[in-house]
Amino acid sequence: MEDPASANGIEVREVTLPGVGKKYVMSLRAGGNLAVVVRPDGERQLHHFLEHADRPRDVVRVDAEEAQQLANLLGRPVVQAPSVEDLDLVLGALEIDWVPLGPASPLAGRALGASQIRRRTGASVIAILREGRALANPDVDTMFEPGDTLLLIGSPAQTHAARALIAG
Amino acid sequence: MTPLLELGLIALGLYLTGELSRRVGVSPVVGYILLGILLGPHGVLPVYRLGPTTELLGELGLLLLLFYLGLEFSLGRLLEGSGPTLVAGAIDLVNFGIGAGVAVVLGYGWLAGLFLGGVVYVSSSGVIARLLSDSELLAYPEAERTLGVLVFEDLAMVVVLVGLGLLTAGGGGRSFVGAVLFLALYGLAARYGKRLLARLLDLEGEALSLLALALLTLVSAGALALGFPAAVAAFLLGMAVAESGHRPRVETALRSWYDVAAASFFLVVGLHVELATVLREAPLALLLAAVTVVAGLVTGFLGGRASGLSRRAAVGHGLMLLPRGEFSLVIASLAADVGALPEGTRQALLGATSLYVVLMVAIGSVVFARFDAVNDLLSRPLMRGAEREPLEAIDPFPLE
Q: Are residues A47 and B139, on separate chains, in Cβ contact within 8 Å?
A: yes
Q: Domain tally for chain A?
A: 2
Identity of the amino acid at B259? D
Q: Where among A28, A44, A78 does a domain terminate?
A: A78
Minimal CA separation from A90 to chain B, in Å: 46
The closest of B276, B288, B200 to B245, measured between CA atoms, is: B200
The answer to whether the Cβ–Cβ distance between B313 and A54 falls below 8 Å is: yes
Instruction: Count Cβ atoms within 10 A of the Cβ of residue A61 and give its class: 0-12 exposed, 13-18 middle, 19 or more buried.
Output: middle
H/E run at residue B313: helix B311-320
How do residues A111-126 score in pLDDT, each as one tens digit? Answer: 888 888 888 888 989 8
Residues of A in contact with B129 (CB under 8 A): 18-20
- pLDDT tier at B274 (50, 70, 90 boundaries)? confident
Instruction: Say yes or no: A115 and A71 in one domain.
Output: no
DSSP A19-34: TTEEEEEEE-TTSSEE
| Cβ of residue B149 closer than 8 Å to a chain A Cβ | no
Instruction: Please indicate, yes or no, whether residues A64 and A90 belong to a single structural domain of this protein.
Output: no
Q: In this structure, is residue A60 part of a structural domain?
A: yes
What burial letters (b/e) apply to B258-269, b meaning 16+ CB within 10 Å?
Answer: bebbbbbbbbbb
Establish if B139 touches chain A: CB-CB under 8 angstroms: yes
Give the pLDDT band of residue B8 (cuts 50, 70, 90).
very high
Q: Is residue B29 within 8 Å of residue B325, measured between CB atoms?
A: yes
Residues A54, A111, single domain; the answer is no
A to B CB pairs, distance under 8 Å = 69
Question: Options 1.10.3720.10, 1.20.1530.10, 3.40.50.460, 3.40.50.620; which CATH number does B51-381 get?
Answer: 1.20.1530.10
Give the CA count within 13 Å in the CB-facing half-sphere of B115: 27
Q: What distance in Å separates the CA atoms of residue B139 and residue B157, rounded to the nearest whole number?
A: 27
CA distances from A9 to A5, A78, B134 (A): 9, 18, 33
Q: Are residues A74 and A86 in the same domain?
A: no
**A71 and A90 belong to one structural domain:** no
Q: Which of A37, A50, A54 sits opposite B138 (nearest CB)?
A: A37
Is the Cβ pair B125, A54 closer than 8 Å?
Answer: no
For A60, phi then psi, to 5°, come to -120, 125
State yes or no: ipTM above 0.85. no
A129 within some domain: yes
Quote the pTM value.
0.71
Sign of the C-alpha dihedral computed for residues B28, B285, B95 and B69 taken in this order: negative
Q: Do B312 and A54 touch (CB under 8 A)?
A: yes
Interchain proximity A55–B140, CB inside 8 Å: yes
Of A17, A50, A51, the CB nearest to B138: A17
Query: Are A11 and A59 contained in the same domain?
Result: yes
A54 and A109 share one domain:
no
User: Chain A partners of B138 at a C-beta cutoff of 8 Å?
Assistant: 17, 20-21, 23, 37, 45, 47
Mean pLDDT of chain B: 86
Long-range contacts, stretch A2-6, CB < 8 angstroms, 24+ apart? A2/A103
Comparing CB atoms, the residue among B77, B310, B394 nearest residue A18 is B77
Identify whether A43 is part of a domain.
Answer: yes
Q: How far apart are CA B186 and CA B121, in angstroms?
A: 27
A93 domain residue, yes or no: yes
Dihedral sign for Cα atoms in the order B311, B316, B321, B323: positive
Looking at A78, A105, A132, the residue that finishes a domain is A78
Query: A39 lies in a domain?
Result: yes
Domain boundaries, chain B: 51-381
* A89 falls within a domain: yes
- From A51's Cα to the closest Cα of chain B, the distance in A is 9
Q: Are residues A151 and A109 in the same domain?
A: yes
In a domain, residue A1? The reply is no
Task: Tell me how far the alpha carbon of residue A5 is from its chain's centroid.
Answer: 14
Cβ–Cβ < 8 Å for A4, A12: yes
Domain end, chosen from A50, A78, A106, is at A78
Distance CA B85, CA A94 (A): 58
Contact B310 A49 (CB under 8 A): no
B144 — contact with chain A (CB < 8 Å)?
yes
Comparison of pLDDT for B326 and B400, the residue scoring more: B326
Q: Alpha carbon of B180 to those of B152, B158, B177, B253: distances in Å?
A: 25, 16, 5, 31
Give the domain range for residue A117.
Answer: 82-167
What is the Rg, in whole angstroms, of the alpha carbon atoms belonging to chain A? 19
| pLDDT single digits (tens) A24-63 | 999 898 888 999 999 878 889 999 999 888 899 889 999 8
* Whether A112 and A162 share a structural domain: yes
* HEC per residue, B105-127: HCCCCHHHHHHHHHHHHCCCHHH
Confidence of residue B320 (pLDDT cuts 50, 70, 90): very high
Q: How far apart are CA B337 and CA B122, in angstroms?
A: 20
Residue A87 sits in the same domain as residue A161: yes
Give yes or no: residues A63 and A123 share one domain: no
* Chain A residue with Cα closest to B154: A18
